[in-house]
Amino acid sequence: MWAAVCLLGIAGCAPVASRWAGAGAAGRPPAFYLSDDAAATGVSPEVVIDASAHGAIGDGATLNTSAIQTAIDSLSVQGGGVLAFPAGRYATGTIQLKNNVRLRLADQAVLLGSHNAADYQNLDPFTGGDNKGTLGYALITAVGASHVGIEGTGTIDGQGKALKAAQSKYNVRPFLIRWEHCTDVTVKDVHLTDPGAWTMQFFQCTKVVAQNVNIRSAASHLINNDGIDIDSCQGVQITNCDIESGDDAICMKATSPQPCGDITVTGCTLKTRCNGIKLGTESLGDFSHIQASNCHLRDIGLAGIALYSVDGAQLHDVTITDVDMDGVAVPISVRLGARLKTFRAGDQPRPIGSLSDITLENIHAIGARQIGLLINGIPDHPVQSLHLKNIDVTLAGGGSAKDADVKLPEKEAGYPEMSMFGKIMPAFGVYLRHVNGVTCDHVTLSVTRPDARPAVDLVDVEGVKTADFLVGAQP
């Protein structure tokens, strides 16, 4: 039930009686109403605005940017509430969420990104890690906002395939959603699809919840269509999300000196042409107190689990448990490097960082193509305190004795990726280099085809030996 109300100061507000009567005939709530579902608990009802009653037209063609933004601005000025979209297809350019405002999409409601690049804005520019200039255009964005979010079982469609031709310049391709310097952000139950660039980015945010979010970002075949990016954030929970992405599925990074920590990822299903769960690449700030568990990864183009500190980050206190993978190039890839890059004016380069106190437990991978564990520090800066327990990897095999003679380059300052050392590995199961202090408890390696390479190759390694790994009989 709704209790109708007229909110003074919001454009289009008519007397309560006429709004209520008109809505009854149409079978939908009035333009403004107070949700009283929580009345029994004594919680104050929230204000809800019907977007279609305030000028938004869901015909898939009309550009609704102005109508939607006006409703958001007015609602925020009045103290906040929900902008609700009934069934329909609402085309729009960039819209900005403001304090205390949430979007709610009904099951058949779709927000459509405009085909016109001129309809997008960059409200908080930043420099990416790939030297391709300033980024930050987005369909939906919030900058410095509190108590904001998106909910409902509807869809946000960036129409990235249509934008591919219209936006030949990499740096003007719009992200689907950006949350910048925000506090108390909740995204739940929505479907996010076909972004022009990354799907959803959080930068320097606190108290973030992403729950039951469905992401499909691979279909446009554009590069860098990540799933969820968490950059320099604190207090993040990602739960029961289903992600199929063109680039990294869940990526934690630190393009600023602010740390990335207190993050939990659980119950997620991931499929991607790149990395499944990744920490780093952009790693200027530290990473700590991060947990991932009970995730299912399939058809992973690069690494299932990737842990990278190359820009000075202290990456530590990370626990990843109960992960199963089916079809992955490298199940576990770890890299401590010395790229030492900065990403914003005024940020100072850091000295070489560290990568330590990492627990990887109950990891089961089948269909691994390149190697099981690829773990590299650099001379005088080893990966430290790495705990491996109950890890079972089945690999394709098929390597030759000649492959075993391959010497992997160091590439101390290189961009970190499992592919940075080449396609051919000198071992089929494990390669450790510049590592100090690994504990192995039931790490098992098997191949489906005979392989002439050794199972394990250790280079400049202390605290672990080949016999610590269990090798299954070859077919």
pLDDT, tens digit, for every residue of 362-382?
Answer: 999 999 999 999 999 999 999
pLDDT at 117: 87
Tell me, what DSSP letter sits at residue 78?
T
Q: Which two tokens stand for residue 183?
A: 């506090």
Residue 144: other Cβ atoms inside 10 A: 13
How far is it, in rounded angstroms, from Cα 15 to Cα 13? Answer: 7
Residue 186 and residue 48 share a domain: no
- Tell which residue, 97, 254, 259, 107, has the closest CA to residue 190: 107
- In terms of Cβ atoms closer than 10 Å to its own Cβ (0-12, 13-18, 19+), residue 340 is middle
Residue 429 and residue 297 share a domain: yes
- Tell which residue, 439, 419, 335, has the closest CA to residue 377: 335
Confidence of residue 18 (pLDDT cuts 50, 70, 90): very low
Residue ending a domain, choose from 84, 116, 133: 84
Q: Which two tokens stand for residue 41?
A: 């608990």
Residue 92 and residue 187 share a domain: yes
Residue with tokens 């350019």: 93
Report whether pLDDT(167) > 80: no
pLDDT at 450: 97
Residue 428 and residue 440 share a domain: yes
pLDDT at 166: 52
pTM for the whole structure:
0.91
pLDDT at 31: 60
pLDDT at 129: 59
DSSP strands (E only) in 206-268:
206-211, 214-216, 228-231, 234-239, 242-245, 250-254, 260-266
Confidence of residue 222 (pLDDT cuts 50, 70, 90): low
3-state class (DSSP) for residue 425: coil
Confidence of residue 134 (pLDDT cuts 50, 70, 90): confident
**414 vs 172, which has greater pLDDT?**
414
Domain that holds residue 17: 1-84
What whole-number percentage of the chain has pLDDT above 90?
Answer: 79
Spatial contact of 10 and 32, defined as CB atoms under 8 Å apart: yes
Report whether pLDDT(19) > 50: no
Spatial contact of 137 and 120, defined as CB atoms under 8 Å apart: yes
**Share of the chain residues as helix, strand and coil, in percent rounded to the nearest 5:** 10, 50, 40
Q: DSSP letters along 189-203, please?
A: S-EEE--SS-SEEEE
DSSP strands (E only) in 109-162:
109-113, 126-127, 134-135, 138-143, 146-151, 155-157
Residue 182 and residue 148 share a domain: yes
Average pLDDT, the chain: 90
Residue 42 and residue 12 share a domain: yes
pLDDT at 5: 38
pLDDT at 125: 86
How far is it, in rounded angstroms, from Cα 212 to Cα 210? Answer: 7
Residue 206 and residue 344 share a domain: yes
Residue 198 and residue 174 share a domain: yes
Residue ending a domain, choose from 35, 54, 84: 84
Domain count, the chain: 2
Alpha-carbon Rg for the chain, nearest whole angstrom, is: 25
- In terms of Cβ atoms closer than 10 Å to its own Cβ (0-12, 13-18, 19+), residue 294 is middle
pLDDT at 141: 98
pLDDT, tens digit, for every residue of 414-454?
Answer: 999 999 999 999 999 999 999 999 999 999 999 999 999 99
Spatial contact of 225 and 217, defined as CB atoms under 8 Å apart: yes
Residue 429 and residue 402 share a domain: yes
Report whether pLDDT(3) > 70: no
Spatial contact of 447 and 394, defined as CB atoms under 8 Å apart: yes
Report whether pLDDT(395) > 60: yes
pLDDT at 63: 98
Q: Which helix (H) or strand (E) holds 51?
A: none
pLDDT at 16: 29
Residue 171 and residue 48 share a domain: no
Report whether pLDDT(11) > 90: no
3-state class (DSSP) for residue 213: coil
pLDDT at 220: 60
Confidence of residue 217 (pLDDT cuts 50, 70, 90): very high
pLDDT, tens digit, for every residue of 56-106?
Answer: 999 999 999 999 999 999 999 999 999 999 999 999 999 999 999 999 999
Report whether pLDDT(250) > 60: yes
Length of the chain: 475
Report whether pLDDT(194) > 50: yes
Q: Is the CA virtual torsion 125, 127, 133, 136 positive or negative?
A: negative
How far is it, in rounded angstroms, from Cα 291 to Cα 270? Answer: 16
Spatial contact of 418 and 333, defined as CB atoms under 8 Å apart: yes
Residue 90 and residue 7 share a domain: no
Residue ending a domain, choose from 51, 84, 117: 84
Residue 359 and residue 288 share a domain: yes
Confidence of residue 172 (pLDDT cuts 50, 70, 90): confident
